[in-house]
């Protein structure tokens, strides 16, 4: 099965979803992100979905759940690049997306993570691997 690469940048994880994903890959990605947070001690996670022209309720729910789960592990998740048509559709769908932190692009997403104490220059020693 294909897997979405998770890159580590300083104390953050960076995930860019470039293709339409089916449910199994989305579920695997959620697990992978949580495993990586725990393995690397990452404090921030940035998930860029600017390439996605559809976010259905399953995808949105997984992103929301992933944000909440990451919070439990001590990491902050920022979703970036939601397209306008996707935003309109998500609201029409009636999804409760409270708990999701977003930014319009990767740049502002990183700004947001940077402004969070401890995400970039935490002084916390990351586990080496």
- Applying CB under 8 A, which residues contact another protein? 20, 22-24, 53-58, 61, 83-86, 88-89, 92-96
Cα–Cα nearest to 113, from 30, 64, 42, 63: 42
Looking at the Cβ atoms of 28 and 126, the one nearer to another protein is 28
Q: How far is the CB of 5 from another protein (least distance, A)?
A: 20
Looking at the Cβ atoms of 89 and 116, the one nearer to another protein is 89
Looking at the Cβ atoms of 1 and 125, the one nearer to another protein is 1
Looking at the Cβ atoms of 96 and 123, the one nearer to another protein is 96
Q: How far is the CB of 119 from another protein (least distance, A)?
A: 30
Q: How far is the CB of 89 from another protein (least distance, A)?
A: 5
| Full strand arrangement of the beta sheet holding 44-48 | 7-9, 12-16, 44-48, 76-80, 101-103
CA 76/CA 22 separation, integer angstroms:
25
CA 56/CA 63 separation, integer angstroms:
11
Cα–Cα nearest to 118, from 54, 44, 26, 51: 44
């Amino acid at each position: 099965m294909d897997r979405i690469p998770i890159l580590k940048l300083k104390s953050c994880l960076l995930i860019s979803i470039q293709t339409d994903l089916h449910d199994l890959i989305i579920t695997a990605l959620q697990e992978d992100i949580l495993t990586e947070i725990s393995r690397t001690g990452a404090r921030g996670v940035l998930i860029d979905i600017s390439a996605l022209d559809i976010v259905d309720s399953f995808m949105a729910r997984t992103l929301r759940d992933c944000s909440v789960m990451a919070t439990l592990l001590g990491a902050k998740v920022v979703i970036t690049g939601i397209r306008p048509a996707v935003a309109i559709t998500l609201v029409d769908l009636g999804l409760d997306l409270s708990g999701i932190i977003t930014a319009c692009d990767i740049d502002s997403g990183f700004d947001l993570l940077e402004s969070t104490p401890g995400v970039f220059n935490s002084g916390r020693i990351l586990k080496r691997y």
